[in-house]
Amino acid sequence: MSTADPQTEDVQSEAAAENTAVETTTTDTVEPTPAPVVHVKKTDPKTGEHLGTGRRKSSVARVRLKAGSGKITINDRELTEYFPNLQDQNQVMGPLRDSGYDSKVDVRILVCGGGPTGQSGACRMGLGRALLSYDVEVGHQLKDNGHLTRDSRMKERKKYGLHGARRGTQFSKR
């Protein structure tokens, strides 16, 4: 049996508990570094232009990007002429603004299929991929703002026995 006072044992055990508590709370927090955005660099061997393909609904956009003054041509027409709607213009310009290349590169886009909203979404994704091929450093900015994410929403097919995808026949009480 110990001859020491029980109060001193309690004080010693409390001090030991405080020391261990202090040791466990003073751990260094290390922020994880974000994983690099993996992308294959696609360039045209003849012209040296950077390529990107974007899809949205039933639209497909083939984007060619090269260093220049900021000119954007869609199907041989200016951006404001091809997309008169401001929302569609902003959607196409989004990747360029977010990466800071809006006045540093020339863009040529061939887009087909679908309507204006689908085409602008396809241009946005293709432009994001072409910018990633042009400069890998802007990959996180593009990915964080959703310019590299494929929007998989498509038109739902019509089912037999119904008038449309979900519209049924009108209910008749009698």
* Domains detected in the chain: 50-144 (3.30.230.10)
Pairing of strands 105-112, 72-74: parallel
Separation CA 127–CA 96 (nearest Å):
8
**Predicted pLDDT at 41:** 83
- Judge whether 114 and 59 are in contact, CB under 8 Å: yes
Would you write out the chain's pLDDT as a tens digit for each of its 174 residues?
555 565 656 656 565 555 555 455 555 676 776 676 666 788 989 999 999 999 999 999 999 999 999 999 999 999 999 999 999 999 999 999 999 999 999 999 999 999 999 999 999 999 999 999 999 999 999 999 999 999 999 999 999 999 999 999 999 998
**Predicted pLDDT at 10:** 61
pTM metric for this prediction: 0.75
Nearest to 89 by CA among 77, 100, 99: 77
Dihedrals phi, psi of 73, to nearest 5 degrees: -125, 125
Q: Where is 74: in which H helix or E strand?
A: strand 72-74
**Predicted pLDDT at 61:** 97
